[in-house]
Amino acid sequence: MRTLYIRGLFLGLLASAYGGAVLAENPPSAMVTHSVASPQVTLQAEAGMEVPFDRITIYLATEQSGARQEVVDKALRKTIDAALNQAKKQSSVEVSSESYRIYPTTNDKGQISGWRGRAELKLKSSDFQAASNLAAELDTGLSIARWEFSLSPEALTQHTAKLIQQAFSNFEQRASLISQSAGFKSYQYEQLNVETPDTNTVRPYFAKAMMATAESSSLRAADAASGPTIEGGSERIRVAIHGTIKLSDAAPTTTTKPDQPES
């Protein structure tokens, strides 16, 4: 009985030290539930990496104004249709029409004095230079409104799979260390939760910011006939494993992990 008490006391001290020192990389990472028969430890481990954005979306816009709604509508459609027909000559960039809006303008008496309209074209590709070149080719009547860098679902899935394996390896190493340091022979999984990266992360740039960027070293004009050289940057993604283990005096066996809900 005295031995069990000393072991439980040591386990509590170990968890406190672990949270403040050994596991300082990913705090808070360990919490012990005091149970002499089967102590439980709650801990966390994670894995992360810096991954480059592999997709770009460029929005081109055109604006028209006139005395009649149909005149504005015709001018917008002419510009967008011409751009779409020109863009169909290539296959490396996905092109589609985006927003389309026509609205009245009023004078100081509140009466309709004219019409204004705006339409957008969206270019999306994993080939940054091809998208940039096409945007430069379509600049007649269209201007760049904004662009976005993002991580494609395929790339995110691939990187996440590697991080899940690494995070589980880190989790098991910490679980084994806690179990052995506390004087137990093995441990069992009680609960596991997996936290994976968000799939909707984008990095937007707007027209004014893009003009400033174009003058910097990260966006250099290659020549007058082609678009600027684009560097998409990167973001850090991570996978975190939160779980509870039960320490045991039984000999180590093949550990069966419980269901792992993702969040």
Q: Confirm if 152 and 201 have CB atoms less than 8 A apart.
A: no
Q: What is the DSSP string of 206-219?
A: EHHHHHHHHTSTTE
Give the angle subtended at the CA of 124 by the CAs of 118 and 129, to the nearest 5°. 110
pLDDT the model gives residue 231: 75
- Cα–Cα distance measured from residue 144 to residue 121, given in angstroms and rounded to the nearest whole number: 9
pTM: 0.68
- 56-150 topology per CATH: Alpha-Beta Plaits (3.30.70)
Nearest alpha-carbon partner for 60 in 147, 176, 133, 125: 147
202-229 residue pLDDT tens: 777 765 544 444 444 334 334 445 566 6
pLDDT at 237: 94
Q: Rounded CA gap, 190 and 208, in Å?
A: 53
Query: pLDDT tens digits, the chain, 263 residues: what are they?
Result: 334 443 444 444 444 444 433 333 344 455 555 445 689 999 999 999 999 999 999 999 999 999 999 999 999 999 999 999 999 889 999 999 989 999 999 999 889 999 999 999 999 999 999 999 999 998 778 999 999 999 999 999 999 999 999 999 999 999 999 999 999 999 999 999 999 987 666 777 765 544 444 444 334 334 445 566 677 788 899 999 999 999 998 887 655 455 554 54
Q: Where in the chain is the domain with CATH 3.30.70.360?
A: 56-150
- Classified as helix, coil or strand, 229 is strand
